[in-house]
Amino acid sequence: MLDLDIKDILAKYDYPLSENKIANQPIFPRDHSKLLLLNRQTGAIEDHFFYELTDLLNADDVLVLNETKVFAARLLGKKQSGGKVELLLIKQISPNSFEAISKPGLKLGQKLYFPRRTYLDDAGNLMSDLDASDFLQAEVVFRDEQSAKVRVEFNQTNASLLAEIDLCGFTPLPPYIHPIQSEETIKAEYQTVYAKEEGSAAAPTAGLHFTQELLDKLKEKGVQIEKITLHVGLGTFAKLTSENLKNKTLHSEYYEISTEVVARLNQAKKAGKRIIAVGTTSTRSLESAVLLSESKKELLATAKETNIFIDPPYQFNFIDALITNFHLPKSSLLMLVSAFISKPNSQADFNNFLDSSIGQAYQHALESDYRFFSFGDAMFIQ
């Protein structure tokens, strides 16, 4: 595939966005963010607040949440030579090793030392002299010559390693967010209230709008709430490549749907209940799991990785509605929502984002001062 082809394809998913539309901090309370309701069959748009989901959802609806938990995946430290190093942990490979991205590049066998956050100033410099035993230590055991990816082994394992990473690391916020809050505040705000399974380098942001009070009200109404897990990787923020577009695959992410949850979701689907995915991560998990079945209509319980790439004209097999944030131009997430609002999932053809119903919804959001991206407002597409 030529670079020109990539540019032409990505140009179909572009839209103008000024920096002042990007949210740098969340709304408080969480459920007071705006919610744009889009009917994908008619293109009709309504403005709401997120807490109005109690009125917008039906008693027999099913919400599917991603209960992954963001961990402190950004480590600041020093090399054995004394130079600074930054490590972004992508994925745990074994009880004591992670795949990571380093800055600057690292050599095989290089030793790394990471102090706890309390020993660092705002610029990431050590505020006092420490003994080697005071650091979380790691060694580079593999280096990908084609990228900045490395595999590092730590001097701790399992729960003790994760606990130490939590004390040393920082929340790896998306590159377009420039927060002024403290790390402890960010850790609390960049996490869903129902986060449980630690392993994500980024939050499933559609879920950030829920408060426990809102979830309780939805349960009282009769809305069925189910939880699955997909650990969000840093590839979420990576630019699409020719390989992505040619092979129709994305970066791999681990997801898990239990036998019990699968049974309840399949039963709900057969009963004609509306399956509402909260976020593109829940969507990718459900659509991956349903493709494992022979019928392509029922979920299969699974715990594996998915690299599913959803773009027009993908046929959605399981979800009926989607709650999601406003996404970056030219991104795989924008392609996913574009597929959801167009044929064969609605009567609308898809030619380009700006002319589509969701493109019109984004334009309305921009004109109505909606806030974009991770800490921004939400959409409910039905």
CATH classification of the domain holding 149: 2.40.10.240
> 244 and 304: one domain?
yes
Cβ proximity of 309 and 339 under 8 Å: no
> 59 and 112: one domain?
no
> 10 and 49: one domain?
yes
> 137 and 273: one domain?
no
What Cα–Cα distance (Å) separates residue 132 from each residue in 89, 102, 112, 155, 330? 21, 21, 10, 12, 45
> 134 and 87: one domain?
yes
Q: Print the SS3 string covering 146-214.
A: CCCEEEEEECCCHHHHHHHHHHHCECCCCCCCCCCCCHHHHHHHCCCCCCCEEEECCCCHHHHHCCHHH
Using alpha carbons, select from 287, 265, 263 the residue that is nearest to residue 340: 287
3-state secondary structure of 40: coil
The total number of structural domains that make up the chain: 2
> 314 and 220: one domain?
yes
As a whole number of angstroms, the distance between CA 85 and CA 75 comes to 8
Buried/exposed code over 282-297 (b: 16+ C-beta within 10 A; e: otherwise): bbbbbbbbbeeeeeee
Which domain, by its residues, includes 89? 74-170
| Residue 331 within a domain | yes
Q: What is the pLDDT of residue 123?
A: 64
> 218 and 301: one domain?
yes
The H helix count followed by the E strand count for the chain is 10, 17
Given a cut of 50, the residues of the chain with pLDDT beneath it are 1-2, 4
Using alpha carbons, select from 9, 13, 36 the residue that is nearest to residue 335: 13
3-state secondary structure of 83: coil
| Residue 375 within a domain | yes
| Residue 175 within a domain | no
| Residue 182 within a domain | no
Q: What is the pLDDT of residue 149?
A: 87
Among the candidates 137, 170, 203, a domain finishes at 170
Buried/exposed code over 356-366 (b: 16+ C-beta within 10 A; e: otherwise): bbbbebbeebb
> 81 and 60: one domain?
no
> 143 and 256: one domain?
no
Give the pair of three-digit tokens for residue 127.
């505020």
3-state secondary structure of 35: strand
Among the candidates 102, 137, 170, a domain finishes at 170
Q: What is the pLDDT of residue 118?
A: 83
> 216 and 357: one domain?
yes
| Residue 207 within a domain | yes
- Tell me 310's DSSP state: -
> 144 and 200: one domain?
no
| Residue 304 within a domain | yes
Q: What is the pLDDT of residue 132?
A: 63
| Residue 237 within a domain | yes
Among the candidates 141, 170, 199, a domain finishes at 170
| Residue 181 within a domain | no
> 65 and 88: one domain?
no
Q: 207: domain CATH number?
A: 3.40.1780.10
- Tell me 240's DSSP state: P
As a whole number of angstroms, the distance between CA 258 and CA 263 comes to 9
